[in-house]
Amino acid sequence: MPRRRQQPVPVRGVPDDFPASIHVLDRFSESDLEVWKKRSRELDALHDELYHGLEPERIRRRDQLIEALNAKPAPPHDFNNWVRMVQYRYANEPLSAAGSVRSIGGRFSIGNDCDESGAAAVFPALYIGDSHETAFRECYQMASKKMEATGLTPAEMSLRQSDASVRLNGHIERVFDIRNIENLKPVAKVLAKFAVPPELEKLARSLKMGKPSDLLIRTPAKLQATLQDMNWRAWPAQFGLPSPSQRFGLLLKWAGYEGILYRSSKQPGSTCIAVLTSNICSERTFIELADGYPPAVIHNRLDLSSADALCGWEHVRQADRAP
């Protein structure tokens, strides 16, 4: 018995005379768009609730959080020949942290445009990698090989024209090491006490995101993963709110730390340090250029005497500066 010829599977919504030169990437209806809009509004509301809804808990437990951050020893950190990437037009100010207060800020610092509600306090940080490759990847937020695969240059990918890299030596007297999960246990213990806001429970159910309590940070492991999340920028860029790592940086500032050690999210096995320039309070803390520098460079060393001039406060309104 001859086999019946299998009929082609019909493609819904695409006419038979659809031009072969056009490729359909996706199809959706007006009702799909309405569902997506609703989900988008709910996601915005969810992040608002995770930030603003939990703010009363953060305020109520602020002293507990600061005490927990200071519960473990904070040894100093020395480094040699670490690297910082600087846009070439700012090459005469290689130790300035002004870039971290512009736009949305950095992983552990809050910039002028980080919080659309205007409630966040702005403060700077100087970001340094343990090698040129680490600093390069962190600067462009992509591995070098992946950039090459796109066929675009790093400058084209970032819309930047050119950069300079500077080698640095330094000593930071008081550093919080996020890489050591033991340092995070006292903090996670306090965070585990946070109550889930009722509105957050409703939004979590509507978005089918599981238990509302799972959205909060309850364990040291989740805290560590969140602070080193590769996509931390989604909070300020997509939702107009400081990310959990930026809020954590503010807590560390209040706790009196001068620097934060963390793993690079773009260069596995490598380390970065965020220097909280406005918190430098020890005469032993310094960062200096390791190599010769142009005569136009005013500050070749960041320390207690030059920190205020290198914070970038001229770009921040007095009322917006973090205490």
Per-residue model confidence (pLDDT) at position 9: 46
> What distance in Å separates the CA atoms of residue 323 and residue 319, rounded to the nearest whole number?
10
For the chain, 323 residues long, the average pLDDT of each consecutive 10-residue run is 50 53 72 77 87 92 98 95 92 95 94 82 96 88 63 60 89 98 98 92 85 90 96 92 96 98 92 98 98 95 97 94 91
- Helix, strand, or coil here: 215? helix
Identify the DSSP state of 323.
-
pLDDT at position 304, please? 97
Which pLDDT score is estimated for 144?
A: 54
Q: Is residue 229 part of a domain?
A: yes
Q: What is the DSSP string of 132-193?
A: HHHHHHHHHTS-HHHHHHHT--HHHHHT---EEEEEEEEEESSEEETT-GGGGHHHHHHHTT
- Kindly report the pTM of this predicted structure: 0.85
Split into its structural domains, the chain has a count of: 1
Q: Has residue 118 been placed in a domain?
A: yes
Whether 204 is in a domain gets the answer no
Tally of CA atoms within 13 A in the half-sphere of 86 that contains its CB: 20
SS3 312: coil
The verdict on residue 312 lying in a domain is yes
- Per the domain annotation, does 236 fall within a domain? yes
Q: How far apart are CA 108 and CA 227, in angstroms?
A: 9
What's residue 26's pLDDT?
A: 73
By the 10 Å C-beta count (0-12 exposed, 13-18 middle, 19+ buried), 280 is classed as buried
Domain that holds residue 171: 73-180+220-320
What pLDDT shows up at residue 46?
A: 87
What pLDDT score was predicted for residue 93? Answer: 96
Separation of alpha carbons 189 and 157, rounded Å: 41
CA atoms of 134 and 271, how far apart (whole Å): 8
Please name every residue paired with 289 in a beta bridge, in sequence order, or none if there are none. 168
Compute the chain's Rg from CA coordinates. 24
Give the position of tokens 């290689």: 94
Torsion of CA 91, 93, 98, 99, to 10 degrees: 10
For residue 89, being part of any structural domain is answered with yes
Q: Give pLDDT tens digits for 265-280.
A: 888 899 999 999 999 9
Residue 11 is predicted with a pLDDT of 47
Backbone angles phi, psi at 293, to 5 degrees: -140, 160
Q: In this predicted structure, what is the pLDDT of residue 278?
A: 97
> 9 lies in a domain?
no
**Rounded Cα distance, 165 and 159, in Å:** 17
User: Quick check: is 291 in a domain?
Assistant: yes
